[in-house]
Structure 1
């Protein structure tokens, strides 16, 4: 029984991480109808932000090591939200209502972000900054002080190669001046480790087993995120605008609601939650460029099983899938069901992480045959929107 309770607690903590990831995805996919395959990479950016903040606070000595997580959480949210905002304004905004194109575009963005983390260096950062300054700053200056209200198409064809050429020259020049110091990748392809503060190590003794403080912290962080999202969507003016645009975009625009601003805010909020999830998973193990790929499929399963656009469904589905996945993969169920040999042998075959995921997939497929709209399906006119 103690082993079973330990497995259930660990499963709930895994489900809590999955819930934070799925919360952001439920907002983006459930409310906006956007299939964002780069959501896992936004979580990865949150994890790497935590790693960078940890290294920065090491200069403060032992005090910095103990308090870095307090600053890493909001910074991970802001970094992921900022990247999500750029993604929405630069890519997603032009693909609303076109799910196939959105899926392909965000998949390409996910590959770009993975390679960016592997290869980012000071030379690359300088090159990107120079390109953005020349290209986007040039368009802004022409619109503000130029004679054109609408930028001619030939202007972009001229400025794009010119800005790219100058940016590449600046990046290469920086690498030649500072040699390896500027061109060496910050992170590389290998995983990086985040050390939890001392107050998150160890565990809370309950009977003959312990509840790890890190997992308790993640569960508490999940509760805070769920309550904050609930209050924001149901008690704030911008939450009211988001729900109005979700139900009827045309009528909301007629009533003066800035729908494009609502779209950008919604996407940034969902992306920021992915960054918080990345900060949480960094406390459980090492993180790398492919970290987000381990969670994105499970997060989509949570949204679909819980019911698209339903917050309570996301909570129930995340905890259920996380607990079931961990209990099957940890091999505890064959031990508990040892008095029933056929069932115990059947579950023992799935007592690995990969096979447990296969079984959970199969159970979800069977469940969706019975309830294709999920645990809490939408009702009313929102279903036909």
Structure 2
């Protein structure tokens, strides 16, 4: 029994990081039908913002908490710029958004290579993350606990925003029936832009968490984009609760597989299980009820 504790706790932390990366996609892909392959680069932007914040504020205990809102704002503005300049012309054309954002992803990766060293730059964790938490005989690193707490806070904030605010009701109305929402006076273009801003900003927050675990580099976004998409699809398009469950299952699955195989093979095995699951339930764990006219 004790042997199950380390992979379970490590997998939960891994799933939390994957959840942070997938939350933004739940909005931009699930709510808006946009396949944004540059979402991983917004995560990368958040990681580099954490590094730049530490260059300005050398006191690490303060720089990381400050980097979180800055990363949200910076990545959100990148997403808003992408939506205004390109995505707004391609709604209801998901394959076109896929192809275009792949190009944007490559451009952002090359821009990072020109600005930062190719081997990446380190982000120092604050002193309050140096310790460990004893859980059933296992010393759990506090940085993993921090990732889980951050994911829980982001999920709770996003859920409350969508469910209890007037803007959340506008999002739900737009998702259920865009044409009817427009005739009811809902400004769907403003809804799209703010949704894209928030979804991209969440990727920036995920980048800060990822930088504390694995540092930063221009390719780090590519490590998360495909797993995040699989988590969103497996959980059910646009379903936050499904995304939470799928991220935890994939994270724990990869941790257990890593105990028996190599890390890369563990990731492949976890993805194979997701693909097999989608063969039997292609709509994912949960589905969105819509009121489309078609």
TM tier, shorter chain? over 0.9
Of 287, 308, 318, 2:247 maps to 318
Q: What TM-score, normalized to structure 2?
A: 0.97
- Map of 1:133 onto structure 2: none
State the shift of 1:251 in Å: 1.3
- Map of 1:365 onto structure 2: 275
Q: Provide Cα deviations, 1:47-106, integer angstroms capped at 9, x if missing partner.
A: 000011011111xxxxx2211111000000000000000000001001111112111110
2: CA distance, partners of 1:67 / 1:237: 34
- Map of 2:141 onto structure 1: 212
Of 192, 195, 219, 1:263 maps to 192
TM alignment of 1:19-34, pairs within 5 A: 19-34=19-34
2: CA distance, partners of 1:274 / 1:110: 14
Q: Provide Cα deviations, 1:259-296, integer angstroms capped at 9, x if missing partner.
A: 11110000001000000000011111221000000010
- Map of 1:293 onto structure 2: 222
Deviates more, 1:1-10 or 1:262-271: 1-10
Q: Provide Cα deviations, 1:23-59, integer angstroms capped at 9, x if missing partner.
A: 100110000000000000000000000011011111x
SS in 2 for 1:76: helix
TM alignment of 1:157-236, pairs within 5 A: 187-236=116-165
State the shift of 1:190 in Å: 1.5
2: CA distance, partners of 1:371 / 1:219: 28
- Map of 1:82 onto structure 2: 77
Gaps spanning 5+ residues in structure 1: where?
59-63, 121-186, 332-350
SS in 2 for 1:88: helix
TM alignment of 1:320-359, pairs within 5 A: 320-331=249-260, 351-359=261-269
State the shift of 1:380 in Å: 4.8
SS in 2 for 1:381: coil
Over alpha carbons, which structure has the higher Rg? 1
State the shift of 1:189 in Å: 1.4
* CA RMSD of superposed structures (Å): 1.3
Is the contact between residue 176 and residue 289 of structure 2 (CA under 8 Å) also seen in structure 1?
A: no
SS in 1 for 2:227: helix
TM alignment of 1:83-122, pairs within 5 A: 83-120=78-115
State the shift of 1:206 in Å: 2.9
Q: What TM-score, normalized to structure 1?
A: 0.74
Is the contact between residue 44 and residue 216 of structure 2 (CA under 8 Å) also seen in structure 1?
A: yes
Gaps spanning 5+ residues in structure 2: where?
none
1: CA distance, partners of 2:255 / 2:98: 29
1: CA distance, partners of 2:290 / 2:107: 40
